[in-house]
Amino acid sequence: MSEKGALRRELLAARRLLPPEEARSAAAVLARQALLLPEVAEADTVAAYVSVGNEPGTRALLDVLRARGTRVLLPVLLPDNDLDWGRYRGAEHLASAGRGLLEPEGARLGPDAVLEAGTVLLPGLAVDGRGMRLGRGGGSYDRVLARLSAAGADPALVVLLYTDEVVEQVPVEPHDRPVHAVVTPAGVRRFTRPRRPADAG
């Protein structure tokens, strides 16, 4: 098993042991902490995702952003593991997509819709002190990051994690790129200078 694979197994096992009430409590705190980042709080469009299982919770944050008038985009997994996008219109407009995933009902906006986001929330299992992210290994967000780079888009890249998932070092491959900030229940840690949403163009 690769270094990444071994670390993924370890981190996923730890998440499975987390009591549901702790996960719910952490989600509320994560929403408050994320909104301390101007990149999240002030962006016109945020590309996010619906947390499932014991992932660090995003649903409270999605609802706060939507209530503030932020345009929230959610991913739709395509057969080739690339991501299409749809607009979040509330929890009652989420549908099961198999594999435990939830996706937005309604119109599909196309894979390039993510280029409109001033901030992209990336799912992950860990981030290290350099801002390098360990994902789940499916490759969907590697494609998103490659699409952003190819288009010259430069949104703020933010990961939501549990506090103990900020680690000393994660294995890195040539295509990996650092994120700008990580949000945990303990607070926000930046890896680059603060960026106004307008910076993303």
Domains and CATH numbers, the chain: 3-191 (3.40.50.10420)
Q: Is the pTM of this model over 0.85?
A: yes
Q: Say whether 41 sits in a helix, a strand or coil.
A: helix
Name the CA dihedral angle for 108, 114, 119, 121, rounded to a multiple of 10 degrees. 70
What is the spatial distance between Cα 155 and Cα 138, in angstroms, rounded to a whole number? 22
Reported as a single tens digit per residue, the pLDDT across 84-133 is: 999 999 999 999 987 778 999 999 999 999 999 999 999 999 999 999 99
Cross-sheet strand order for the sheet of 166-167: 133-134, 126-128, 166-167
Give residue 45's pLDDT.
Answer: 98
| pLDDT tens-digit series, residues 9-67 | 999 999 999 998 899 899 999 999 999 999 999 999 999 999 988 999 999 999 999 99
- Strands annotated E in 97-191: 102-104, 119-122, 126-128, 133-134, 156-160, 166-167, 181-184, 187-190
With CA atoms as reference, report the closest residue to 123 among 174, 71, 78, 77: 77
Residue type, 6: A
